[in-house]
Every structure is written in C-alpha cells, then in structure tokens.
Amino acid sequence: MLAIAAPMMISTACDGLMVFTDRFFMAKIAPEQMNAVMAGGITMQTMCFFFIGLTSYSTALVAQYFGKGEKHKSTVAAFQAILVTLSAWPIIIALKPLAIAMFDIAGISPVQAMYQTEYLNVLVMGCVFGMMRYTMGCYFSGIGRTGIVMVATIAALLINIFLDYTLIFGNFGFDPMGISGAAFATISANACALLILFAAYFGKNNRKTFSVLSSFRFDKIIMKKLIRFGYPAGIEFFFNFVIFTILTGIFHSCGNVAATAATIMFSWDLVTFIPLLGIEISVTSLVGRYLGAKRPDIAYKSAISAIKTGILFSSAILVIFVFAPWPLVRVFAPDVFNPVFEQAAPIAVNMIRIASLYVLASAVIVAFIGTLRGAGDTFFSMIVSVMMNLLLLPVVYLSLKVFNLPLEAAWSFLVVCFLIFCAVLAFRFKSGKWKNIAAV
C-alpha cells in the first residue's frame, strides 16, 4: 500500500498545490480575483468531472486485467478511456455558455463574475490536456507504476508555479496577464505532464510488456465494461461537484467577506484532502488487482492498510488545523491592507478549526470508496454519495439564507453530514458484498 500510495499522495498533493498556487498569487492582487479563480476552477471541474469519473474506472479495469495476467487487455482498457476523453472535449466546449450564464443566476458580484468568465474562457479551450493527463495516470496507477505519475505531477507543479509568477505579474519581459495568465499556466503545466506520461507509455519496456501498439482499437466488450461500471462514478463526480459549486455560490452570494472566508477555508480543505485521493486511487488499484487474481482476503487487507495510512496522514492535519489556523489564513493576506480580508480572517480561522472534526473521517471515507470502486461496487457508492451531498444544499441554504446563521454554524452542519456519510460507507464495507462483484 505504501509503495503505491506514497507516490500518489505526493502526486495528488501537487495537484492541490497547483490550484492553491493560482489562488495564492491572485490573492496578492485582490480577494475578488482569488475568489474568481476558485469558483471558475470549480466550474471547470464540474463540466469535466462526469467524464473524469467515468474514465477513473479504467484504474480498476487495468488492475483487474493485470491481476488476471491478461496484460495486453490492460492497455486496451486504457485506450477505451482515451477515446472517452477525446470525445468529451467538444462537449465541454459546447457547455461553456451555460456555465457562464450560471454565474449570474448564482448571484455572484459582477466584478467577480467578470474575472471568473475570463478565467473559464481560457481553461475550457485547454481542458483536454488535464483530462488526458488524468486518464493516462489511471493506467499507470492500475499497473502499480505510480512513480511516473508522481514525476509528471511534480513537473507540472514546478512549471505552473514558474508560469504563474511569470504570466500573472508580467515578469521576465512578459506583459502582465492577470487571471488569464493563471489559466494559461495551468494548461501549459498539464500539457508538459502529459508529455512525460506519454513518453513512459510508449517506452520500450511498457510498449513490449503490455502490447501497446496493438491496443489502439475500439473494443466493444471492454468499452461496455468501462461504461457500465464507470458511469456511476461519473454521475457521482458530476453531481457532487455541481453540488459543491452551488454550495460555493451560496457562500459567495453572502458578500465579499463571506466569499473570502469560504475561499480560504475551502482552499486549505482541498490542499489537505486531495492527498487522500492518492490513497483512494491506490486502494482501487490493489483491490482490483487482488480481486482479479481471486484473492479477496488480500483485497480486504489492502483496504485496512489504506485506512491506517489515511488516519496517520490526517492526524497530522488535525493537529495543524486545531493549533495553527492563523498562519494558514494569513498566507492569503494581500500585499496591502484590505478591510475585506481582515474581516474574513477570524471567520476563516473558526471554520478551519471546525474542519478538524472530520479530517480523520475523510481518511476513512476515501479508503472505503476506493475499495468499493476497485471491486466494481460503483452504483452503491454513487447513490449514497449523491444523496448525502444533496442533503448539504438545504442544510447550508436554510442556515445562511433563511435563519441567517453565521458561516461557522453552516459549516458545522456540513461537517456533521460528512460524519454520517462515513458511517454509511463503513456499514457497506463491513457487509462484504463488494467482494462478490466481478467486472472482468
């Protein structure tokens, strides 16, 4: 578990830092632009996440074929995911006007909506690089070669930081591009990471071992399996991010102070949560591999190892959230005094401390979800996850818009909902039904 999970935790942490970097640099200009980067980025992810969720099941398919000793089918499964990704790009471009229209419906301030639109216009045109990078990462995760994913992601992070600094502020002879520069930096970083993954995919060892050159064909049977077991994850990803986008819009519609406090909180929440997704990907790979090899006992042990690994990581986050929230908030302080930030800072501190209540639960949640997906039990996780996230909408809306409660109260109710979600997944895991689902 550690051999596969450690590189993936580093990789997903780097992905989180890429998003964090954009917000950090934009915060030095104005809170409105920082908020626009967060909301615009979430909107972009929402449009992509059905397809990302669908293709994410290629990790389990690749792993199960790998476990059965049918290595040539692992690359065929990867190619079906590539076909889905390429087909998704024009659909996402076509959805852009609808996404921009939603900014007005959400009640976001005109200044922030203007910056969000500028940011989204650039991201949409280059989103295929990020999606394809994820798709190729699923293949390498499925065969256990997470080290190459880590190398590509670290390269993307370094390139993103350099280009953010260069393009946003106009350093090294470039004209300042502001928020568009942040978007171009993200696209360029993803493209460079994709080149690294392609180089490894077409490398001599991988090309021969997994019959890469003969895998470029449409396979009806494997495509049906990818869609059958992947669409629930796609629906889950999509609806959860739609809900998260709406939740973000509710917080942001409460004014600039509330928007800034929520952005700071969600930024740190994502930075600390995203590494746990590395554990989810790793346990999906291991459970898929051992179930493919007809070893459910080892698949179960993999799940327990994932839980232990996640709790170890999250324990450190808990300590930081409880005892050092102020330095985390001050990271986003503008270079010049800003009254909006100063009012938002104490609210963000309280929200970060409240988040410490569920960081350990998050570690358990990702381990359970990864186990269920690796086994092909994707429909159950979809139903429970979407229903639980739907519950968040009325809870937050009523708290902020009807009863006019403080942001901290709404955030507390949201945390309680996540704790309930953890308990439901634990019950499904203990039932053992996931061990008897066969995808291949």
pLDDT tens, position by position, 198-239: 999 999 999 999 999 999 999 999 999 999 999 998 998 888
CA angle 105, 109, 115 (to 5 degrees): 100
pTM of full prediction above 0.85: no
Give me the mean pLDDT over the 378-393 stretch.
Answer: 87
The answer to whether residue 358 sits within a structural domain is yes
Domain that holds residue 174: 2-432
Asked if the model's pLDDT at residue 108 lies above 80, the reply is: no
pLDDT digits (tens, 9 = 90+) for 55-89: 999 999 999 999 999 999 999 999 999 999 999 99
Non-local (6+) Cβ contacts of 424 within 8 A are 384, 388
Residue from 90, 217, 189, 80 nearest 138 by CA: 80
Give the pLDDT score at 201.
Answer: 97
Residue with tokens 């100063």: 342
Ramachandran quadrant class, 296 (left: phi over 0; alpha: psi -120 to 50; beta: rest): alpha
Tell me, rounded to whole angstroms, the distance of Cα 307 from its chain centroid: 19
Give the pLDDT score at 30.
Answer: 78
The count of structural domains within the chain is 1
The alpha carbons of the chain give a radius of gyration, in whole angstroms, of 21
The answer to whether residue 397 sits within a structural domain is yes
CA angle 122, 125, 127 (to 5 degrees): 100
The answer to whether residue 439 sits within a structural domain is no
Q: Is the separation of the CB atoms in 190 and 127 below 8 Å?
A: no
The answer to whether residue 409 sits within a structural domain is yes
Secondary structure (3-state) at 425? helix
The answer to whether residue 365 sits within a structural domain is yes
The answer to whether residue 34 sits within a structural domain is yes
The answer to whether residue 438 sits within a structural domain is no
Residue 254 phi, psi dihedral angles, 5° rounding: -90, 10
Give the pLDDT score at 357.
Answer: 82
